[in-house]
Amino acid sequence: MPYLFTSESVSEGHPDKVADQISDALVDHFMAFDPESKVACETLVTTGQVVLAGEVKTSTYLDVQTIAREVITRIGYTKSEYMFEANSCGILSAIHEQSPDINQGVDKKKKEDQGAGDQGMMFGYATNETDNYMPLPLELAHTLLRELAAIRKEGKKMKYLRPDAKSQVTIEYGDDNQPIRIDAIVISTQHDDFDTEKKMLDAIKKDVQDILIPRVKKLFPKRVQKLFDTEYKLFVNPTGKFVIGGPHGDTGLTGRKIIVDTYGGKGAHGGGAFSGKDPSKVDRSAAYATRHIAKNMVAAGLCDEVLVQVAYAIGVAEPVGLYVNTYGTAKVAMKDGEIAQKINSLFDMKPYAIEQRFKLRSPIYSEAAAYGHMGRETQVVEKSFKDGSGTVKKVKVKLFPWEELDYTDKIKKAFKLK
């Protein structure tokens, strides 16, 4: 029997995402000047105020206020009427040194013996329903908001847009778990004041229908474009006007959008956030590693859909377990437990090995802090950073390395796939 599945996304101007982006900008700057930094930064944003807190062990000094203001400016909070503005907001830093009790379990004489920065379980997921092996409802929700932000920054159409926005997409799936149609799209976007609420609602809904959705539709292959051709429910700012938003409308905190950051509710989540953490925190690094495993498994043709779990004990390098669930879609005559054993032999999941495999001690995190950490395009870019003394450093890095399909041949060989 057909069923419905829904995922949501939030824009870079959503208060929780503002907090994530500031936290990850700090991580990037620490990594750029001292790759061995240990970082756990939390950010709170509210009306006219930013609070930075957390634990850091590093040899570099940063002007954290300037970094935070640069992030807020890039997002688009640059007008006083937003009640949260880059140049005028107060910024309080309560960042202090990392506890030596935690650090002693992570740092070891041999780097390869580096222990996990915490206990816990992390999940990776992949499905062949999209070209980037992500769930379609989340991919559509992310794309709607990325394009909405692009339209806002271009400044040519929908000139009333403000930075805060949310989206939600409901897809109808068939008995074969393949998408049949779009059932509902929800767009809530912050905007400038209008003369009347009806005028506002009519204008924004028309622009979403005539400008945003056609632009998004063009970005997908024909099989996805067809899903837009059937009738679906469209809700635009369903509560009415949305003038007050961003950190003025809702306090934002680092790490409150972990489902948006991963798979939109598909698969599972271990509960740990990503942003603000250096890669010794397996909440981050092992989640990337399990996504890499899952994506390569599906791309190799081993299965159509898969969930991979890894778990750690704090201070211990070897994982305490690796779990695989192919949801009955495996293309080999093996149980999931047998598949997990073979996968475990192909991928070194010790924290140091993960860091080395993806070069995670590089400043690659800011780009992941909005619109999802998974399903993004791997690319090499040059980034520029400035420390507290004014020293500028340019670094060439590979973004989203965990999205590379560099293990498919190994998986095919191990499982004797053509």
Distance between CA atoms of residues 154 and 204, nearest Å: 17
178 labelled binding-site residue: no
Residue 38 assigned ligand-binding role: no
- Please indicate if the annotation marks 168 as binding a ligand: no
DSSP string over 343-355? HHHHS--SHHHHH
Which element (helix H / strand E) includes 71? Answer: helix 64-75
The amino acid at residue 215 is R
pLDDT digits (tens, 9 = 90+) for 114-125: 889 889 999 999
What phi, psi does 65 have (nearest 5°)? -65, -45
Residue 245 is predicted with a pLDDT of: 96
SS3 379: strand
Residue-range domains of the chain with CATH: 3-11+136-244 (3.30.300.10), 16-108 (3.30.300.10), 120-127+273-415 (3.30.300.10)
In a 10 Å sphere around its CB, with 0-12 CB exposed, 13-18 middle and 19+ buried, how is residue 417 labelled?
middle
Would you state the pLDDT for residue 118?
87
Confirm whether residue 194 is marked as ligand binding: no
Q: Is 242 annotated as a binding residue?
A: yes
**Residue 11: helix, strand or coil by DSSP?**
coil
Instruction: State whether residue 408 is helix, strand or coil.
Output: helix
Those residues whose C-beta lies under 8 Å from the C-beta of residue 176, and which sit 6 or more positions away, are none
97 pLDDT tier (thresholds 50, 70, 90): confident
Q: Is 410 annotated as a binding residue?
A: no
In the prediction, which pLDDT does 110 show? 73
256 is in an annotated binding site: yes
- The residues, ordered by sequence, that sit 6+ positions from 8 with a Cβ below 8 Å of its Cβ are 141, 166, 167, 168, 169, 186, 259, 260, 264
Does the annotation list 228 as a binding residue?
no
> According to DSSP H, which parts of 226-305 are helical?
246-249, 258-261, 282-299
Band (84; pLDDT cuts 50, 70, 90) = very high
pLDDT over threshold 70, residue 251: yes
Share of the chain above pLDDT 70, in %: 97
Please tell me which residue, 94 or 104, carries the higher pLDDT value: 94
**Whole-number pLDDT of residue 322:** 98
**Does 79 show up as a binding residue in the annotation?**
no
- Residue 257 marked as a ligand binder: yes
| CA-closest candidate to residue 201, choices 211, 214, 191, 212 | 191
- Kindly report the CA angle at 165 between 163 and 169, in degrees rounded to 5? 150
Residue 235 contacts residue 185 (beta carbons within 8 Å): yes
**Binding residue per annotation — 287?**
no
Confidence of residue 9 (pLDDT cuts 50, 70, 90): very high
DSSP structural state of residue 116: B
Please say if the pLDDT value at position 363 is more than 70: yes
- The annotation status of 142 as a binding-site residue, yes or no, is no
165 is in an annotated binding site: yes
Tens-digit pLDDT profile for residues 212-227: 999 999 999 999 999 9
User: Residue range 134-142: average pLDDT?
Assistant: 98
Distance, CA of 324 to CA of 307 (rounded, Å): 6
pLDDT over 90 (residue 418): no
pLDDT at 101 over 60: no
- Percent of the chain past pLDDT 90, that is, above it, reads 92
113 annotated as ligand-binding: no
Q: 412 a known binding residue?
A: no
Tokens of 372: 């999802």
> Is residue 103 scored above 60 in pLDDT?
no
Q: What single-letter amino acid sits at 243? A: V
Rg (CA), the chain: 22
Annotated binding residue 269:
no
Determine the average pLDDT of the residues in 184-196.
Answer: 95
